Structure 1
Amino acid sequence: MTRDDLAALLAEHAAQTPACGPARDALVSGGGFEVYDGLVPADRHCHTYRRRLRHTRKRGLATLGLAETVSILERAGDEAVRLGLIQTADRAWSYVLFIDATATTVLACARGARQASAQV
């Protein structure tokens, strides 16, 4: 997947989670990205990201779109998804993307925790 392809997908699906727009901005501003070929059932990712959500809430770490992402992955059940990552050019933030098996839809996007004492 090219940078332009991923930016277009994020633009089309910006309403999925509040992190999709900022992830696209990071991408078009020169951030690094990767979309992995492997497919994993959404519910396996759901368990991992539900734990991350609990962890970040306990520690007061900033996230964006993580709760919505967990909800979307839970609803997707055993649907196969691929993982994508975007990192801002200054490496201050990372975004995780969940893309459908055909790489035509961004199902969810979340920004990872990087700083303490921010609203979750």
Structure 2
Amino acid sequence: MTRDGLAEMLGEQTTAWGPARDALIAGGTFVIWDGLVPADRLAHAYRTRLRITQKRGQPTLALAATVDILSHAAEEPLRIGRIDAAGTSWTFMLFLNATATAVLACTGVATGEASAEPAPDAK
């Protein structure tokens, strides 16, 4: 998977797509892992992450929307990807179809102390 190819796949799945695409284009590191995980298992894991981040007051982008998308995908096998924004504390998780030809959902989380959103239009 190339940087440009992944950037082209980041459409309007969730409100996190724009900041994720910007992070990728700005030189953020990225990886798409081999292996497939059923969407319903990912939905369960990210529903738990949603509760934890809300409890901590940790900034996120489109985490609830991503959980909803994963829940509706049921047992569909998905690939997982990640973009780490350069120069910020934001990490974006991507959920792609089994052939890694489409991004189905995207969420972002501030992983460090900085709580500023990654881009002014990210809401």
Q: Does the TM-score normalized on the shorter chain lie above 0.5?
A: yes
Identity level (%): 58
RMSD in angstroms over aligned alpha carbons? 1.8
* Secondary structure in structure 1 of the residue aligned to 2:96: strand
Q: Where does the alignment leave 5 or more consecutive residues of structure 1 unmatched? A: none
Alignment-mate amino acid for residue 45 of structure 2: T
Are 2:26 and 1:29 equivalent residues in the alignment? Answer: yes
Q: What is the deviation of 1:16?
A: 1.0
The 1-side partners of 2:71 and 2:17 are apart by: 18
SS of corresponding position for 1:67 = helix
**Distance (Å, rounded) in 2 between the aligned partners of 1:55 and 1:89:** 25
TM-score where L is the length of structure 2: 0.88
**Could you tell me which residue of structure 1 aligns to residue 65 of structure 2?**
68
Amino acid at match of 2:6: L
Aligned residues: 116
- Equivalent-residue separation in structure 2 for 1:117 and 1:94 (angstroms): 12
User: Contact (CA 8 Å) 2:89, 2:114: kept in 1 or not?
Assistant: no
- Hey, what does 1:8 align to over in structure 2? 8
1:89 aligns with 2:112: no
How far 1:50 sits from its partner (Å)?
A: 0.2
1: distance between equivalents of 2:103 and 2:54? 25
Equivalent residue letter for 2:5 = D
Q: After the TM superposition, which parts of structure 1 deviate over 4 Å for at least 4 consecutive aligned residues?
A: 115-118
Runs of 5+ unmatched residues, structure 2: 117-123
State how 1:94-105 maps to structure 2 within 5 Å: 94-105=91-102
Residue 106, structure 1, aligned to residue 103, structure 2:
yes
Alpha-carbon offset, residue 102 of structure 1: 1.4
Task: Report the Cα distance in structure 2 between the residues aligned to 1:94 and 1:87, rounded to whole angstroms.
Answer: 5
Report the CA distance shift for 1:54/1:99 in structure 2 as closer, same or farther (over 3 A). Answer: same
Structure 1 residue 116: Cα displacement: 8.0
Which structure has greater helix proportion? 1
Match of 1:90, as an amino acid? G
